[in-house]
């Protein structure tokens, strides 16, 4: 079986360009016992992939030059010689940016399309949903009446964070790019929604958080984080989940070194600033699937997907997702469901 795949051709400096990727078609080895031959249906595009393109020490190994770009996938089983899966089964795997893959069956989870649309296994009922659930509830610990702020708030992590915080009785302020996204947050029931590109963003944030901020779920960094710091209350919690505003940066920002100033804020207001990678909370997955499955089924947590047709469009969709041209969880539909 042939696969058409997108490999990392060069390490980007700043924003990735098309030349950093190469598309090629190769023949896959036949699947052996303990493996399955899969056809990709949906490919997830996520911000962490930008980090994997760098040759830098991180929590996960970089993609090597010439290697297929990594990524979670919903795939259809074509062959599984060991009999663990039947042809036609849909599975969650990690096939990467390609049309077909051979993967160890141990890493695959069978999906039930009757329970939820299969693509949700890449979003609200998958890694981004688990990130939101564990980061908010384990680190953020919002209490009824507290103010929770989250940016990238229409994305799969941010939208889920905001809706869980509402379910826990918090007052929720969402930050997103552009009036359409702001309107969507109001539709989702956020108490206030702000456009981070508005010229008076800082004033709007101040007005929307009259009692300060108790939980800031950090998804973006950059100017939003700068605006949030002065609003944080004593004992505020900051789950540091992502810094997408800076993923293409190649240098530190201009200006004076403010690390000492930031440490004083942490000290003087007894802030909890705690980074995390969702894999450390993997043991919460069963509880997450139970809670989130029920919330999604009952319409208490809603989700939105940004579906892009065809592997050829993965590059544009990836860049678009990093800069906010997506509206919801970005997935590439690689073949028919
Ligand atoms: N720690 C973990 O284990 C973990 C796991 C999953 C995700 N994450 C992180 O969580 C964050 C959200 O991920 P996601 O998958 O839900 O992404 P996403 O929201 O689908 O996409 C990223 C969004 O970031 C926003 N953004 C980009 N540049 C920005 C800037 N300069 N200022 C403000 N917002 C900006 C854009 O939304 P707007 O148009 O609204 O600006 C863009 O749509 C990312 O930082 C990601 O790396 C961490």
| Domains of the chain, first to last | 2-123+303-333 (3.90.180.10), 127-279 (3.40.50.720)
Taking CA atoms only, the protein residue closest to ligand 1 atom 46 is: 242
Cα 87 from chain centroid (whole Å)? 30
- Rounded to whole angstroms, the Cα distance separating 304 from 326 reads 10
Query: 42 forms bridges with which residues in the sheet?
Result: 74, 333
Residue 243 CA to ligand 1 centre (angstroms): 7
Taking CA atoms only, the protein residue closest to ligand 1 atom 25 is: 152
Residue 72 CA to ligand 1 centre (angstroms): 17
Residue 47 CA to ligand 1 centre (angstroms): 7
- Rounded to whole angstroms, the Cα distance separating 198 from 210 reads 19
Taking CA atoms only, the protein residue closest to ligand 1 atom 27 is: 323
pLDDT at 60: 86
Please list the pLDDT of the chain residue by residue as tens digits (337 residues): 999 999 999 999 999 999 999 999 999 999 999 999 999 999 999 999 999 999 988 888 899 999 999 999 999 999 999 999 999 999 999 999 999 999 999 999 999 999 999 999 999 999 999 999 999 999 999 999 999 999 999 999 999 999 999 999 999 999 999 999 999 999 999 999 999 999 999 999 999 999 999 999 999 999 999 999 999 999 999 999 999 999 999 998 889 999 999 999 999 999 999 999 999 999 999 999 999 999 999 999 999 999 999 999 999 999 999 999 999 999 999 999 9
pLDDT at 246: 94
Within 10 Å of residue 220's Cβ, how many Cβ atoms?
Answer: 26
What phi, psi does 206 have (nearest 5°)?
A: -60, -45
Residue 152 CA to ligand 1 centre (angstroms): 5
Taking CA atoms only, the protein residue closest to ligand 1 atom 43 is: 324
pTM of the model: 0.97
If we measure between CA atoms, which residue out of 249, 242, 237 comes closest to residue 277? Answer: 242
Token code pair at residue 146: 């507290």
pLDDT at 69: 98
If we measure between CA atoms, which residue out of 31, 34, 103 comes closest to residue 71? Answer: 103
């Amino acid at each position: 079986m042939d696969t058409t795949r997108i490999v990392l051709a060069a390490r980007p400096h700043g924003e990735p360009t098309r030349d950093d990727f190469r598309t090629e078609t190769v023949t896959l080895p036949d699947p052996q016992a303990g493996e399955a031959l899969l056809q990709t249906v949906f490919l997830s595009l996520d911000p962490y992939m930008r980090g994997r393109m760098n040759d830098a020490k991180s929590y996960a190994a970089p993609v090597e030059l010439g290697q297929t770009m990594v990524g979670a996938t919903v795939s259809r089983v074509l062959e599984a010689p060991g009999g663990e899966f039947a042809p036609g089964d849909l599975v969650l795997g990690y096939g990467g940016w390609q049309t077909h893959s051979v993967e160890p069956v141990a890493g695959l989870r069978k999906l039930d399309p009757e329970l939820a649309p299969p693509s949700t296994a890449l979003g609200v009922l998958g890694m981004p949903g688990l990130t939101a659930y564990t980061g908010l509830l384990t680190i953020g610990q919002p209490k009824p009446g507290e103010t929770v702020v989250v940016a990238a708030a229409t994305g799969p992590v941010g939208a889920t964070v905001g809706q869980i915080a509402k379910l826990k009785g918090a007052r929720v302020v969402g930050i997103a790019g552009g009036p359409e996204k702001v309107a969507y947050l109001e539709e989702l029931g956020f108490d206030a929604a702000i456009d981070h590109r508005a010229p008076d963003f800082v004033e709007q944030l101040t007005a929307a958080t009259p009692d300060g901020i108790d939980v800031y779920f950090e998804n973006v960094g950059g100017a939003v984080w700068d605006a949030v710091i002065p609003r944080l209350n004593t004992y505020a919690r900051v789950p540091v989940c992502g810094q997408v505003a800076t993923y293409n940066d190649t240098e530190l920002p201009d200006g004076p070194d403010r690390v000492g100033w930031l440490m004083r804020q942490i000290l003087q207001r007894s802030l909890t600033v705690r980074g995390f990678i969702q894999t450390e909370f993997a043991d919460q997955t069963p509880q997450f699937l139970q809670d989130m499955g029920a919330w999604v089924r009952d319409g208490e947590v809603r989700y939105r997907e940004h579906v892009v047709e065809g592997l050829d469009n993965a590059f544009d969709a990836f860049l678009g997702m990093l800069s906010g041209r997506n509206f919801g969880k970005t997935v590439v539909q690689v073949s028919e469901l």
